[in-house]
């Protein structure tokens, strides 16, 4: 698969995707969204990939927003279709992948960029990162899940303020409000996400995918998260990973999970 807007690296169970449009500060356009979808779908189906890292090329931006030039003249119907298609192809898609996805925010994460980071399972940021949803300054609102995920992560009041003011917050503010899990110097970002990925890879891939499904269920309309947890908890008992994990514990040795 030829990649024009992203760079893919895969080493020792970790797949790293770099969004690579430096001349546009890695802004998302339709082609990049489609490319990310296709690549993530391929990676999620690869049993050798245990963790996915999503980041931006260079040191300035994770993703500095959506490519406004593509939709500046859209009608109301076209705008709604843009949001629906984007959510389906990328943002909801990332959130529901069975492989854990970590956003490594290495600079500006604005608009669609912050929405993409929020769709990942958790986030780390370099200390120079700036985050925000500036859409109201353009006469529109976040359309890739931002109004929902930001409120889930930082609370309704803070989300309202960020969206209404269209302002940016620092990495430290993002950490303080729970938007990101860790803030590190930019030079340490790579080592930090590698360390986190290695910790994740010691655990059962099957159990992790069930945990993702269960946590997500609590935020879906009409779904009882507790019921999902009961079901997925039970499903774990039928896996080889459960047998290996419990046997290794009783034998006082490290488990060797196969993801089955």
Please provide the DSSP assignment of the chain as one string. ---SSEEEEEETTEEEEEE--GGGTT-B-HHHHHHHHHHHHHHHT-TT--EEEEEESTTTEEE--B-GGGTTT--HHHHHHHHHHHIIIIIHHHHT-SS-EEEEE-SEEETHHHHHHHHSSEEEEETT-EEE--GGGGT----SSHHHHHHHHH-HHHHHHHHHH--EEEHHHHHHTTS-SEEE-GGGHHHHHHHHHHHHHTS-HHHHHHHHHHHHHTTSTT--HHHHHHHHHHHHTTSHHHHHHHHHHHTTS-------
Q: What is the pLDDT of residues 7-58, one digit of tens each?
A: 999 999 999 999 999 889 999 999 999 999 999 999 999 999 999 999 999 8
CATH of the domain at 194: 3.90.226.10
115 is catalytic: yes
Q: Catalytic one among 11, 135, 161, 256? A: 135
Residues 225 and 137 in one domain: no
Residue 255 falls within a domain, yes or no?
no
Among the listed residues 115, 213, 229, 256, the single catalytic one is 115
Average pLDDT over residues 197-213: 97
- The model carries a pTM of 0.95
Q: Is 148 part of a structural domain of the chain?
A: yes
Number of domains in the chain: 2
* 166 lies in the same domain as 131: yes
Indicate whether 101 and 158 sit together in one domain. Answer: yes
The per-residue pLDDT for range 141-197, each reduced to its tens digit, is 999 999 999 999 999 999 999 999 999 999 999 999 999 999 999 999 999 999 999
């Amino acid at each position: 698969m030829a990649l024009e807007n992203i760079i893919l690296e895969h080493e020792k169970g970790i797949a790293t995707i770099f969004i690579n449009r430096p001349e546009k500060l890695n802004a998302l356009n339709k082609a990049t969204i489609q490319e990310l979808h296709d690549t993530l779908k391929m990676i999620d189906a690869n049993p050798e990939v245990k963790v996915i890292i999503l980041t931006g090329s260079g040191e300035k931006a994770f993703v500095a927003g959506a490519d406004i030039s593509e939709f500046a003249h859209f009608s109301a119907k076209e705008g709604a279709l843009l949001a629906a298609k984007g959510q389906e192809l990328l943002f909801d898609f990332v959130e529901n992948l069975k492989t854990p996805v970590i956003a490594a925010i290495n600079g500006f994460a604005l608009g669609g960029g912050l929405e993409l980071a929020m769709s990942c399972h958790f986030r780390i940021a370099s200390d120079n990162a700036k985050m925000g949803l500036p859409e109201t300054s353009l006469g529109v609102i976040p359309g890739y899940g931002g109004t929902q995920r930001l409120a889930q992560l930082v609370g309704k009041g803070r989300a309202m303020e960020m969206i209404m003011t269209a302002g940016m917050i620092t990495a430290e503010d993002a950490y303080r409000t729970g938007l990101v899990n860790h803030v590190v110097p930019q030079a340490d970002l790579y080592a930090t996400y590698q360390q986190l990925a290695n910790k994740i890879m010691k655990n059962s891939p099957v159990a992790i995918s069930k945990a993702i499904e269960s946590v997500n269920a609590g935020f879906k309309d009409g779904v009882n998260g507790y019921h999902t947890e009961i079901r997925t908890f039970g499903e774990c008992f039928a896996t080889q990973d459960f047998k290996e994990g419990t046997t290794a514990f009783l034998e006082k040795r490290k488990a060797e999970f196969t993801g089955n």
